[in-house]
Amino acid sequence: MKTQTSIILPTYNEEGNIVELITTISNVLNGEKIDHEVIVVDDDSPDGTAGVVRNNFDSNKVRLFVRKGDRGLATAIRYGIEQSRGDTVVIMDTDFNHDPYVIPQLIEFLKYYDIVIGSRFVFGGGMEDRMRYCLSLIYTTWLRFFLGIRIKDKLSGFLSMRKERLIELDMDSIFFGYGDFLIRLLLKAQKRQYRILEVPTFYVRRRSGESKTDFFEVFYKYTKTALKIFFSRDRW
């Protein structure tokens, strides 16, 4: 059963956020008359995230997949893409960092672009956490010069693509690790001259639960990824 758009939500211990987030997404997209499905890929959360989804939503519109073996953000996203029935996929976090009201823009601009990114670093974007915003801006600027990625927000993780254009890329070489998958995706897309647009989005603080990422550990992992890419550039 085909649909217009698949919203991919990778989850781990998001019991306090997931119902409100899915409800908001559905209200926004129904209001814009955008046919859609929500795909929740849960890495067997011990807080019962999967059960909350199962008990609150119609399984035809909100499709739940629980993974008990392979775990991790990037592989969860890929799994959701592979299960999706939409012509368009939207990838986003489940902690309300990513504003559901931006989703219609991400979808609309795919009429003219191959990838649309919700960006903190274009005019109108930003973050409630100013310290994290400044550090992220410095780091993503370094990535711009080090790897030659022209996109300003290379760490967003809030984006839309036409599924057929995504599948044209080598997903095996993109979707592993954590949020660094986006660095690899953007490099491959840029090399293939995909048209990429950034639209402004503003990150608010997490509404419920604790962050599962240590800020400096993440940047350490991203730097390892950047160095690996830099010293194997013939592959890109």
Tell me which of 114-118, 193-197, 204-208 is least confident: 204-208
Domain ranges of the chain: 3-235
CATH code of domain 3-235:
3.90.550.10
pTM over 0.85: yes
* pLDDT tens, position by position, 126-148: 999 899 899 999 999 999 889 98
* pLDDT tens, position by position, 83-120: 999 999 999 999 889 999 999 999 999 999 999 999 99
Per-residue pLDDT band at 2 (split at 50, 70, 90): low
Per-residue pLDDT band at 1 (split at 50, 70, 90): low
Coil vs helix vs strand at 18? helix
H helices present in 84-194, as ranges: 103-108, 130-147, 163-168, 181-191
% of the chain residues with pLDDT over 90 = 70
The pair of three-digit structure tokens given for residue 228, joined into one six-digit string: 């690996």
Pairing outcome for strands 126-127 and 202-203: parallel
CA distance 106 to 113: 10
